[in-house]
Structure 1
Amino acid sequence: MNFLNNLHPVTKNLLLINVILFIITVFGEQQGFPITHYLGGHVFSSPFFQPYQLVTHFFMHGSLMHLVGNMFGLVFFGNLLERVWGPKRFFIFYFVTGIGAFVLYQGIGYYELLQVREEITLLGYNYHDVHHLLSEGKVYTNAGPKMTEYVQMLSVPMIGASGAVFGILAAAAYLFPNMEIMLIFFPVPIKAKYFVSIYLVYEVIQTIQYNPTDNIAHLAHIAGALIGFIMVKIWQKSRTNFY
């Protein structure tokens, strides 16, 4: 409990909500209730998309390692930002970066979806019928690779706090560039500006290479970092004393 007592209120509550929802999701889905399907964030034109998913998606995680990685970033860097900004500003920052990353990622996803939609239309499928069948819980079988891709784009939700966490990383690296970090898998001190820069370069490379099988929304990570950086610059200009 001493660990939780050392956390600032927004950071602590975000951590608890994420952990509790992960536990509920694991047990719920073992019982056959698809919590991730309802609370994960679907592409905007999907029959499964709901406005509340703009927020709920970044409290959902697909595995224990997914959760631990994001919560490490939240606790280590987010707690620092909340200390210097205060709870209100940090709360706003977290939600804006999380929602903003989702909107940018799914906005591009919607554009890609339209391209695939044109291709399946040329193959003789009616996408309205596809959406209707999916909304009724029915599935297509042996429909070919393009239809399979289209259905997957509609059905697979985006989950995780990574967009908000990358916003936190970008803000921390900008405000505290020379802060040294010691990673478990790399036990050598590295300055925040180098750590975050290397991490973002990796995300850009992964986005360009585009491997759909890795199930990681690299573009959302970049979007979160970009939004976080822009917010810090705006706030910095709007106040004489940023802290």
Structure 2
Amino acid sequence: MYNLNPVTIAIIAVNVIVSLKGFDDRLFFEKYKFNVGSIRRGEQIRMFSSGFLHVDTTHLLFNMLTLYFFANAVIFALGQLNFIIIYVASLVFGNLLSLYFHKEEYWYSAVGASGAVTGILYAAILIRPEMNLYMFFVPIPIPGYIFGIGYLLYSIYGMKNRIGNIGHDAHFGGAVGGYVVTLMLMPSLFKTDLGHIGLLAIPIIILFVLYKTGKLH
């Protein structure tokens, strides 16, 4: 068991309270979800509020469990304030990337803390690339940096092929936000772990190349 930091508890609590409100109040859910048309009409609050709404309890539970497992690694290394900065920056960056790729799809909507949580996950991997992750369907531990690279490559695949009802672009944007902000807050990593920084940048470079060559969509 992990000892939860008060900041992590507070973020989980806000997610649970806002999500439960959204489950019971459809007007509330519709007012604060990510929606391209509404955001382009000036409702910028949705860029932030949508990160605390969820589709259902399974969606909420999965995101909060992921946050639970990786929050401490970031807080121990960077402190509570920087953890909050990474969380919020990843949430917003994920939605910004989603808005950019769907800017002409006025009907496009999304909710969830996935972008923010993915940013925390990527920050934790960047700080501790040697950490081992265990997946339900893989009986052996996976090095954190291998998981990070694989996750973002899958996100690119999901973005390119529109796989499932999943915001792959928000996941990717959140991870990039976590990656960039963590390096800004902890530049010493460039001296101690430049190799892993370079490896974790590979999916970001691939996405950029695919976009520039028009092969993303």
TM-score band by shorter chain is 0.7 to 0.9
Q: How does 1:23-102 map to 2 (within 5 A)?
A: 23-28=20-25, 33-43=26-36, 50-102=43-95
Task: Check the 8 A contact 2:125/2:145 in 1, yes or no.
Answer: yes
Matched-pair contact (CA < 8 Å) for 2:96–2:173 = no
TM-superposed deviation, 1:181:
1.9
Structure 2: state its 5+ residue gaps.
193-217
Partners of 2:50 and 2:37 in 1: how far apart?
Answer: 13
Residue aligning to 1:165: 117
Distance 1:241 1:193, change over 3 A: closer
Shift of 1:40: 0.7
The amino acid across from 1:77 in the alignment is: F
The share of aligned pairs that are identical, in percent, is 29
**Among 157, 162, 165, which residue is 1:210 paired with?**
162
Asked if 1 retains the 8 angstrom alpha-carbon contact of 2:33 and 2:110, the reply is: yes
Matched residues in 1 for 2:77 and 2:165: separation? 34
> 1:237 maps to what in 2?
187
Verify: 1:182 aligned to 2:134, yes or no: yes
Deviation at 1:161, TM superposition (A): 0.9
1:219 equivalent to 2:185? Answer no
Counterpart code for 1:97: S
Secondary structure of the structure 2 residue equivalent to 1:181: strand
Measure, in 2, the Cα distance between the counterparts of 1:196 and 1:239: 17
Q: Alpha-carbon deviations, 1:5-58, whole Å to 9, x = none?
A: x21122111111112222222222xxxx33221111121565775222121110
Q: State the SS of the aligned residue for 2:135.
A: coil
Q: Which residue among 11, 14, 38 is the counterpart of 1:17? A: 14
Q: 1:217 to 1:238 in 2, by over 3 A?
A: same
- Letter of the 1:186 partner, please give it: V
**Residue 18 of structure 2 contacts residue 52 of structure 2 at CA under 8 Å; is this kept in 1?**
yes
Per the TM alignment, residue 70 of structure 1 is displaced from its structure 2 partner at its CA by 1.2
User: In structure 1, what is the Cα distance between the partners aligned to 2:56 and 2:176?
Assistant: 26
| RMSD of Structure 2 on Structure 1 (CA) | 2.6
Which secondary structure state, in structure 2, belongs to the residue aligned with residue 188 of structure 1?
A: strand
Is contact 1:97–1:228 with CA below 8 Å preserved after alignment? yes
**Structure of higher CA gyration radius:** 1
Distance 1:74 1:180 in 2: 16
Please report the TM-score for the alignment, with normalisation by the length of structure 2. Answer: 0.78
Structure 1: gaps spanning 5 or more residues: 114-152
| Preserved contact between residue 55 and residue 99 of structure 1 (Cα < 8 Å) | yes
Partner of 2:197: none
After TM superposition, the score normalised by the length of structure 1 is: 0.70
Output the amino acid matched with 1:160.
Answer: G
| Aligned CA distance change for structure 1 residues 154 and 238 (closer, same or farther; 3 Å) | same
Query: Equivalent residue for 1:8?
Result: 5
Contact 1:48 1:155 in 2 (8 A): no
Higher strand share: 2
Answer 1 or 2: higher relative contact order, Cα 8 Å, separation at least 6.
1
